Amino acid sequence: MKRNEPVTHIMSTAVVTAHPGNRLSEVHAMLRKHKIHHVPVVSGRRFIGLLTSSDLLRVSWGDPYSHDPREIDALLDTQELRAVMQEDVKTILPTASIREAAQALADGSFHCLPVVDADGNLVGLVTSTDMIRYMVAEEN
């Protein structure tokens, strides 16, 4: 792994985001539609939290992907997004190296790392999958 290569080389910039006013059923639909596991929550462009497929599992009391989506959505919408999202999320600056991102992912409890600028605005997202793809490409 190139130790000093910036994380911007592997981060996704076309990030699907949610806002505090979104219903959980809307975020559930985003996860299904885009086949993703993490949705950063932003206020304007400012990163304020993260909602994951695991968070939806926790509040839906079962697998929200194997039941009738209408039933799951009705259950999810009994909760506020802000009450379910994770707010204590490790982030990284765009100037950080890929190695620093790999260490943060290895040390953390999340499988993604929001990339935020000095003002806290979301500029990208690095997932463990991005890191694995990078490592495999480096071997070639």
Q: List, for residues 99-121, the tens digit of each pLDDT value.
A: 999 999 998 778 899 999 999 99
The residue ranges of every structural domain in the chain are 7-139
Q: Measuring CA to CA, how many Å separate 53 from each of 19, 37, 44?
A: 16, 5, 23
Mean pLDDT, range 73-100, rounded to an integer:
91
Q: How far is residue 26's CA from residue 77's CA, in Å, rounded to a whole number?
A: 9
3-state secondary structure of 102: helix
Residue with more model confidence, 1 or 42: 42
Q: What is the pLDDT of residue 18?
A: 97
Give every CB contact of residue 137 below 8 A, 6+ residues apart in sequence. Answer: none
Q: How far is residue 5's CA from residue 76's CA, in Å, rounded to a whole number?
A: 41
CATH numeric code, 7-139: 3.10.580.10
Residue pair 102/116 in contact by the 8 Å Cβ criterion? no
Q: What is the pLDDT of residue 24?
A: 93
**Global confidence as pTM:** 0.87
Q: How far is residue 71's CA from residue 57's CA, in Å, rounded to a whole number?
A: 14
Q: How far is residue 49's CA from residue 84's CA, in Å, rounded to a whole number?
A: 10
Q: List, for residues 40-75, the tens digit of each pLDDT value.
A: 999 999 999 999 988 888 877 666 556 677 777 788
Q: What is the pLDDT of residue 62?
A: 61
Residue 61, phi-psi category: left (phi > 0), alpha (psi -120 to 50), beta (remainder): left
pLDDT above 60 (res 1): no
Q: What is the pLDDT of residue 55?
A: 87
Q: How far is residue 1's CA from residue 22's CA, in Å, rounded to a whole number?
A: 39
Q: What is the pLDDT of residue 4?
A: 81
Q: What are phi and psi of 54, to 5 degrees?
A: -65, -35
Other CB atoms within 10 A of residue 7 CB: 25
Q: How sure is the predictor about 136, in pLDDT bands with cuts at 50, 70 and 90?
A: confident
Q: What is the pLDDT of residue 66?
A: 63
